[in-house]
Amino acid sequence: MMSELFTLDALVEDPARAAMVPPKRAQGLLIELASLQAVLLQRALSQPCIDQEEELLLTIREVAKRLKVSEYRAYELARQGSLKAVRLGKSVRVKPSAIDDYLLRHGA
DSSP states of 39-53 as a string?
HHHHHHHHSPPPPHH
Per-residue pLDDT of 32-45, as tens digits, reads 888 888 888 887 77
Which amino acid, residue 67?
A: L
Burial class (CB in 10 A: 0-12, 13-18, 19+), 84: middle
Do 62 and 24 belong to one domain?
no
From CA 92, how far away is CA 38, in angstroms rounded? 41
Give pLDDT, residue 43: 79
Do 100 and 69 belong to one domain?
yes
Give pLDDT, residue 65: 96
Per-residue pLDDT of 63-89, as tens digits, reads 999 999 999 999 999 999 999 999 988
Q: Are residues 83 and 99 in contact, defined by beta-carbon separation less than 8 angstroms?
A: yes
Number of structural domains (the chain) is 2
Range of the domain at 26: 2-46
For residue 54, what are the CA distances in angstroms to 30, 51, 75?
Answer: 37, 5, 20
Q: What is the domain-level CATH number for residue 100?
A: 3.90.105
pLDDT at 48 over 80: no
Per-residue pLDDT of 8-32, as tens digits, reads 888 888 888 889 999 999 998 999 8
